[in-house]
Amino acid sequence: MSEQARKPPWLKVLAPGGPNYTRIKGTLSQLDLHTVCQEARCPNVGECWREGTATVMILGDTCTRGCRFCAVTSGHPVGVDDTEPERVARAVVELGLRYVVLTMVNRDDLSDGGASHVARTVRRLHELGDGLLVEALVGDFQGSERDIDTVLAGGPDVFAHNVEVVRRMTRRVRDARCDYDRSLAVLAYAKKRVPERFIKSSLMVGAGETDEEVEVCLSDLRQVGVDIVTVGQYLRPSPKHMPVDRYVEPERFEAYRRMGERMGFRFVASGPLVRSSYRAAEAFVRAERGVVD
């Protein structure tokens, strides 16, 4: 039986469609913009786009790293499109978004890892989007504090970097240039530099970890100052990617949520279809910042 056929019922999602889905897809296509919703084959793309939210991916559609779980193309990107910050901001304004997640491919080929490009895009979003909240979901910049400072200077309301998996699974799942402790250090440094802003991370389960390792990972994230954490099921994007080790039941995700709340996270989103860009977490930030529709 195929992996798709044996998915449990709680992982079934509606097929993409509806007027908002069509509108967002058309606007992003016209402006030649990429979204992690499409590139990473997110199962929530239909729901999120129907509700008028999207995660825009900048710095191209080719990542210099090749993680075993990720559907984004891996290879050798060329150059940076200096018009992209303006096009992203125009698209967000045209779509009427009030909260935008700005993510990126890793660009180890660039001297600053793309940090200045991220910062320019965040600034332009704030300039054009009155009251817009911006979350920057970024790579590790090879641990460069200078590059992290560059991103933070752009003024994202939420600084996010994903640890992705528990410590033991990092070498098996993430690119060899990724490092669990480096990811923790990036999050800790960001919180130290901007303690008033939200720091966020995300964890996938079903990749071969144990529940005890999930607890340790959540504790590690909380100890470095992460405020918001999301926990979701790993889903294999294609046969060439690593297989799913287990499908975690909804009750176990609820236990992870309670565990995280006991540790002191400001907000925990935990569920089979929860992803790093998740509307419940975004709604929490909007409420905390006093932003209303």
Domain ranges for the chain, please list them. Answer: 9-288
Q: How far apart are CA 124 and CA 127, in angstroms?
A: 5
pLDDT in tens, 88-138: 998 888 888 788 889 999 999 999 999 999 999 999 999 998 888 999 999
Which residues lie closer than 8 Å to 88 by C-beta, 6 or more apart? 31, 33, 56, 58, 102, 121, 124, 125
Question: What's the pLDDT at 39?
Answer: 43
Question: What's the pLDDT at 2?
Answer: 46
Question: What's the pLDDT at 245?
Answer: 95
Question: What's the pLDDT at 10?
Answer: 75
Amino acid at 198: F
For the entire predicted model, the pTM comes to: 0.89
Question: What's the pLDDT at 202?
Answer: 96
Residue 267 DSSP SS3: strand
Question: What's the pLDDT at 82?
Answer: 95
Reported residue count of the chain is 293
Question: What's the pLDDT at 19?
Answer: 60
For the domain made up of 9-288, give the CATH fold.
TIM Barrel (3.20.20)
Question: What's the pLDDT at 22?
Answer: 64
Residue 240 DSSP SS3: coil
Question: What's the pLDDT at 58?
Answer: 93
Q: How far apart are CA 100 and CA 183, in angstroms?
A: 23
Q: What is the DSSP letter of 262?
A: H
Alpha helices in the chain (DSSP H): 19-30, 36-39, 45-50, 84-95, 115-128, 145-153, 170-173, 180-193, 211-223, 250-263, 279-288
Given a cut of 50, the residues of the chain with pLDDT beneath it are 1-2, 4-5, 37-40
- Residue 61: other Cβ atoms inside 10 A: 17
Burial of 237 (0-12, 13-18, 19+ CB in 10 A): middle
